[in-house]
Structure 1
């Protein structure tokens, strides 16, 4: 059985080590006679292989002598392809390949590229090596090849994929594993011809896997034997073919369920951003080639050169770069052609960034190293110092983008700390789009919105937005380099900066107090604060006046080295109130905001061995200037105030008396929670009915009726 279905592909390669003197003048095939059972045959031609031609023909034994005809240099057309390859100076590899499919032809098939019979090829081939038309050596090949019962290209591509039975029902022939080919011993395979089935008809795979019905039912006459069969069995058993069996097999045959991809714990592959039809607040702005429109920004405190720009998100950042040589790439060295990016406008079109250049005459404001002011050194021209974008928008689209690029010349002596500025502002017409801090109530962590009445537009009386700020010290902590940070709703905070003061400054206390007051006043330039997180700039009822309280200093005289009543601390007190609930979230509004100042004396300290501030009028000491904010929630009044009767007369108050008359009928009141109120009321009424009935039918009423009669 195995000899019938086994397919053998033989590649015969014989390497012979023959002396060079022997092979220089003689030609010989090694081996010179080959018997093949597959579609390939290989041999080596050894000797002087220069000017050699190979010829292939089909030969047959003589009917009289039985010998093969002598070699010939005339080629014939065969179903084999002859190729040769030089493998050395005195060796040629000769290979024959069958140019025909070994697939067995089906019934009524007209394709000629198949085998009509199981014995597909039976012939003898002769390869002659000729020099100048004279044969020098010959190779005989006897080919006896049977047709393949499986597909010619064996591999994963021709295997039938058995699907998951939960999602797709399995076929009626589970052993049919090869597509469009006969599977050995699979008697239910529709690809097997009658001749194929005759080869393994008596060796079919048993059970459901082989397509046979199993097991046989107990009522079959062939199942019960004479040893264990009951007495009545010969009269009641059934003779039925095996196919007529109620056994349905072990495979799921239900409806098909559409499979859904499960969760994956692998790292997702980042793809290119998908284009959007319109822009919404926070969505990234895209270029025409579906890439992010980027501007240098700060991410987690670090400057990132290629950070995406979000729609309607304003920002202004400063990045510090230590330069030791002239910049050679973006963003410190840019060209207008590179900045004229084509951006999608969100309405199906695009806009081009309009670039305008400005030259900074004085570059010192961008440089924090004194080495750069030297006249000698490396000169770097056209260094980008600032990029300021203005994005004009309307609805869900962008109408235009303008860029102001500030460039300047920097002289490098050794190294320079260069501070560059990058900003993007979204303008609706000429009005800057400001983000809200809630809808409508304030959200914790969002900036408190302040405002100033626009005096230039007296007709509308609109409010221009601004912010309430605290100190944000950086680097050395001095007030001259300190920045401002907005007050965030619901977050109490305290911050400050340091002001250097000398003995000479303390001799001019009025000027010192005015200087500190101006520094503190710069934190809050607004006069109004918004009640809610989304105020209307044209509705004055959405705004509350900011109260300023200045504490009068006590009448104390200023001395030589001290000043009294310096407004060194600024305190912001915010009162908020919960005005309602939206989807279970409390909505908080600002009811009042008050700014107060604490006055303190400033005196030089010359203790600890350091007396220079008190001796040298130019030596300075650092004095703190602080600012803080406190948020207070106004408690909600949950009920109306008590009346005078409720306050004065407490004999009916169950919480203050041992005897509580209102609880006499407690089971039928709404305060009783032991059972539903309707049930307790019904039971109470029933008890009252029985009490009245007993009273009417009792002794007093009976005596009254007797007297009446």
Structure 2
């Protein structure tokens, strides 16, 4: 596993994850990468695995003259010119760093300092770093160091020299802006000090315009000097600005020059990466931390395998059983634990800590957790393992975003070791808020204590009323399910899947029915009805994704509807009517707002309806064995489905009773629409903006009135007036 070749960056990340998981489960250490090339004086690698009790050593190695390979790793350390340091960056990750303890500058003439480099290739050697437990090497890292000397300019001053920036009132900061190339003459840059007289004669008449031999920014459009430009506006001769070209923002007092200290140039050193900061605020799913910023771990199952050091997630209940073969008595956790090792301080999420309270119980009959694979041996050959941990049951008491108390019940017992013994241990964690066990929510995982809506893809939360001892009622959670087709697809062996919010689904199972079953229609109807009723045992549905079991307003009654057939059908010899073969769940939801940019949807109603069908025996064509043998069965489907409907949000103001009852001018409910008679003047015309249509309509009215006044009627009136 440690020698996997990783070429691309994506494969390198995958290899690191695979090596980390492999080293963690195998309880070994490994370097990643296992081979490095050091072009500079600092090089680092990662040491993965259980690094407790692991020592590091470094030595100089060379390939064999005969085989050309480097020998096996050794725990014997040598004196080298490198300094080895290690830093813990994670629970099972260390950063190993080698730093060169010598100068890298090239030796000058008549220089006697042995620390300088006599050749440009300053360091050329192969190093081997070994990780050892005692005198046994566990992993090794090969480093090929090939480092060249640093070239420092001859006129470079000391590192702490001072540079004085001149005052730009008397001397500009950029005396030659077009001087872009260091120690080379820039063409057409007449102020470039690197240009000789011969160079200047080539482009003396073509110098870059602007101050100091070249102003990079073009003149603005409002300058009068650009009047000859094309497409000059009409206002230009009257509103242009007369300003000399040297009057530009590159001149003037930028800031007062002062004395500053120069900073050293870049080196080969890599930036030191700090350890990732752990978040102490507990939200749903975040890991629980101990007082020394380590994960609180309990054995759990990951991908079907038991992992001894799995972090505990906040508000995530679990109960697992781990099977371990024993050949000798266990001496290490989790099978051999001490109460003082389990009483650890845990961060409570509010800046304080709580200590795990441990209670010991002795198993009365530990044989239920023990199985002997080789058969029972004689009592003389058996070895008794005392105080073996058989169960660890944690209870976390929480309130809001903090943990108030942690109790642990440790069950121990004596295990007889008869040959090969298989031991089954139990581990569990339960989060309790007051008197109620925590349940997974379907709302916003950040705001776990406020009423937030459902998130798409989370289970719909159902419930039923439970009367407590003090005659107060609380709603216990349960799931609303659909059929889940697995295995052979039969209803008696089928599993159920929860209804996920916002996801429409249809599923079913098969029920074997024989001709004899069709003679007992009442029993058949009861059997199918009980199978369908087992899918939805809840009588309430949570309005939001984070309901309160004691708040009745957070829950909505589920309505059950039986869709009866309109036609009256009676049972016959080979058919039964009124079979609840289909169950449909209809959910109506409404968006009530947003939390952190996520829309919050609430359930406003949930209806469960059953569709009836008639099951009959078809003996026409195909296999007629069910018609001949009364015990022969054929498969009939029982289905279930769910549909989600979004209720549209009505943003219009509510209508008055006059608007509801008076329909004479309502174009949607009346054949004659009087407002459309004045089409251009009303808002029913949407071909152009309302202001434009109104203005054009008024112009038409004006022309109509003018034509009426100046037309024939008024001419006749004037003629009649003149004849008087």
- TM (norm. structure 1) is 0.49
- TM (norm. structure 2) is 0.48
